[in-house]
Amino acid sequence: MTVDADRAASESLEGSRDLLIEMQRRMLRIRLLETQVMKLVKIGAETAGPYHLYTGEEAVAVGACLALRDDDYITGTHRSHGHPIAKGGDLRKAMAELLGKRTGYCKGKGGSMHLADFSIGVLGESGIVGSAMPTAIGAALGSKLQGNDRVVVCFFGDGAVNSGPFHETLNLASIWKLPVIFVCENNMYAITTAARDMMAVPEVAVRASNYAMPGVVVDGQDVVAVHRAVATAVTRARTGDGPSLIEAKTYRYDDHSVGLQRIVRTPYRTDDEIAAWQGDRDPLTIHAAYLRDNAVMTEAELAELQSEVADAIADALTFARESPFPDASELYDDMFTVPISAD
Amino acid sequence: MTTATEVKPRIISTAQSIQEALVEEFRRDERVFVMGQDLQKGVDGGTAALFNEFGGERVRDCPISENAFVGAAVGAAAVGMRPIVTSSCCFMWAAMDSLISQAAKMQYMFGGQASLPLVFRMTELWGGSMAAHHSDRIHPLFMQIPGFKVVMASNPYDSKGLLKTAIREDDPVIFFEDRMAGAARGPVPLEDYTVPFGVADIKRAGSDVTIVGVGGMVNMALKAAEQLEAEGVSVEVVDPRTIVPLDRDTILESVAKTGRLVTVDIAHKRCSVASEISAMVAEHGFGSLKAPIKRVATENVHIPFSTALEPLCYPTPDKIADAVRETLA
């Protein structure tokens, strides 16, 4: 099965104005948060460690997460800022975590690569590539054993496709008919290595046939197209028909992590390639045009939305800055649910 | 001492006591389920009876995808299930990423948002001419990595009570099943009971030398103690029962009494549990010691196939007794 992304995007989306607007709002939240993070990292006084920005890939997380219910689950990757926000997460807790504060999602223990919000089904992002894929199918197994109809979206990148967990989890999900949607964010590069050089078969979606599940290629820059493809897979998963694999073709605008170009001085992407994606292929630009063309939002309303989100990001930053760092006495907190002595 | 004496107990094997614990906990809590290989036909650990009573949804035969089903256990625990994974510890090398990156770290790294009620039953089947790939004893690794509680039981009573605690605990627990402990038989009451974590048991009281053994090495230490009794040496055998958390106080009190310590572990000697307990006593109980601490553990070599070589690797009652004699020399 393949979805013709252009056709899907041009069809009306069940007339759901609120949903279409929410898509733009959540993409803007990610974009403006990442813009703010980039500024903070470049100054460097308040940040620590690597930050992997989701800029350019917003339509994938938002299109997918808006096809889910609040009580559905997601797992993600080291590029972790976009997924929880797409799922409806709290910008304040996200920003506070990015600055290592105790009010952050993980009380300052997880940081940029490990945002999580279990209250809305965000079961954590994994710093190890491919490592959260088995976790995702476990949550899906939990749904099955508990007899509820919650589904799981498992986000992973093209790099993870070559790791063992990809094979093991797709096979296990298929033989157990688990309610999981595998969403590959194919941004074409694992740090500096091009997927085309690392995959014997460069298309990810075709691998689905090896596991007896549908494989779909979708334009990852078109939030409506992503939503449509994921919604179809969600229906399949929720009704007990098992997993699906969706390959979203996308692009990260920035380096693997902010500042990596100081170490990796040899270019691995051309300026033309980057410019092409940032131009016509920008997910926010594409969706803004869709909203205007279909008379969902006016230019003024789009500007107002942008301003609303900018205010929310500013509020989140203020909250994070005013929040305390974790106290030294909290070092051992949350090691165990039933605590034990440190040594 | 937690041994129940009110009721006249039955004598059963450790394997049977573990099976009883599983059946009783499966009946008590429907969130408990088990994943592993060849469980339904019961190749590993008598799980066929579980399958017959509870069926394939809760007794799940898995493909040879250890990393996936261990990681799946983590995900299922994160959404409110209470999974048990059963495997030879040797196959868990293939699952290390899920064990370390996910099971061990998830609770802490996400700031306590998740409780992970997970049990990993790992058998350590050394001594059967299975050569290097099937004779591992990997428990010290999990003492080194924060995030796991680690059980090393030596007899049927402790095995049943500790496994029940493990299944009811809201944290990741690794429950090691030592071959020698598995072969042990002993009294197990019929009524429900648990054995708490972090509480050592003095398996034999004595006054001259303390032996701390873990898992099946407790039984070997008891044999050595019998030999030494004939020589007039009074040995105290301490069984920590869990190595994380470790009951430091009981060990240190015993050493304060005897002034001599021999530690015994079936793992490779370097960085073994014997090493850690020795270091702990050297750090906190040095003033009590009348002689250097002795460690008896497995040679730092891969386990060879030949019956001429394999037995050379492991602790024996004789080696333990010799170590005790050295502390008295």
Could you read off the pLDDT of A161-180 as tens digits, one per residue? 999 999 999 999 999 999 99
Q: Which two tokens stand for residue B80?
A: 């409110």
ipTM over 0.85: yes
pLDDT at residue A9, rounded to an integer: 45
pLDDT band for position A267 (50/70/90)? Answer: confident
Indicate if B171 and B28 belong to the same structural domain: yes
Indicate if B119 and B80 belong to the same structural domain: yes
Q: Structural domain of residue B247, as residue ranges?
A: 201-328
Torsion of CA B146, B148, B154, B160, to 10 degrees: 160
**Residue B68 pLDDT > 90, yes or no?**
yes
Whole-number average pLDDT of chain A: 94
Q: Rounded to the nearest 10 degrees, what angle do helices B273-284 and B248-258 cross at? A: 70
Residues A286-332: tens digit of each pLDDT:
999 999 999 999 999 999 999 999 999 999 999 999 999 999 999 99
Q: Are the beta carbons of B110 and A114 separated by less than 8 Å?
A: yes
What's the CATH code of the domain at B233? 3.40.50.920
Residue B88 belongs to some domain of the structure: yes
- Burial of residue B191 (CB within 10 Å: 0-12, 13-18, 19+) is exposed
Residue A327, C-beta contacts closer than 8 angstroms, at least 6 positions apart:
A102
Among candidate residues B167, B188, B209, the one where a domain is terminated = B188
Q: What is the 3-state secondary structure (H, E, C) of B44-103?
A: CCCCHHHHHHHCCCCEEECCCCHHHHHHHHHHHHHCCCEEEEEEEHHHHHHHHHHHHHHH
Residue B1 belongs to some domain of the structure: no
pLDDT at residue A7, rounded to an integer: 45
Q: Which of A15-19, A240-244, A262-266, B28-32 has the lowest mean pLDDT?
A: A262-266
pLDDT at residue B44, rounded to an integer: 61
Asked if B134 is an active-site residue, the reply is yes
What's the CATH code of the domain at B78? 3.40.50.970
Diameter over CA atoms, chain B: 59
Beta strands in A59-143 (DSSP E): 73-76, 122-125
Mind listing the domains of chain A with CATH numbers? Answer: 5-258+285-330 (3.40.50.970)
Indicate if B264 and B292 belong to the same structural domain: yes
Among candidate residues B139, B162, B188, the one where a domain is terminated = B188
Give the one of B63, B76, B109 whose C-beta lies nearest to A138's C-beta: B76
Q: Are the beta carbons of B97 and A105 separated by less than 8 Å?
A: no
Residue B4 belongs to some domain of the structure: no
Indicate if B152 and B78 belong to the same structural domain: yes
Based on the structure, what is the number of domains in chain B? Answer: 2
Mean pLDDT of B62-75: 98
Closest CA to B148 of B201, B219, B85: B85
pLDDT at residue A12, rounded to an integer: 52
Indicate if B87 and B212 belong to the same structural domain: no
Cα(B56)–Cα(B35) distance, integer angstroms: 10
Q: Rounded to the nearest 10 degrees, what angle do helices A283-293 and A299-322 cross at? A: 140
Q: Which residues of A touch B57 (CB under 8 A)?
A: 145
Percentage of chain B beyond pLDDT 70 is 97
Give the chain A residue whose CA is nearest to the CA of B97.
A131
A17 three-state secondary structure = helix
Q: Which two tokens stand for residue A125?
A: 């992002």
DSSP notation for B116-184? --EEEEEEE--SSS-TGGG----HHHHHHSTT-EEEE--SHHHHHHHHHHHHH-SSEEEEEEEHHHHT-
DSSP A325: P
CA distance B127 to chain A (A): 32
pTM, 2 dp = 0.95
Q: Are the beta carbons of A142 and B68 separated by less than 8 Å?
A: no
Give the chain A residue whose CA is nearest to the CA of B113.
A118
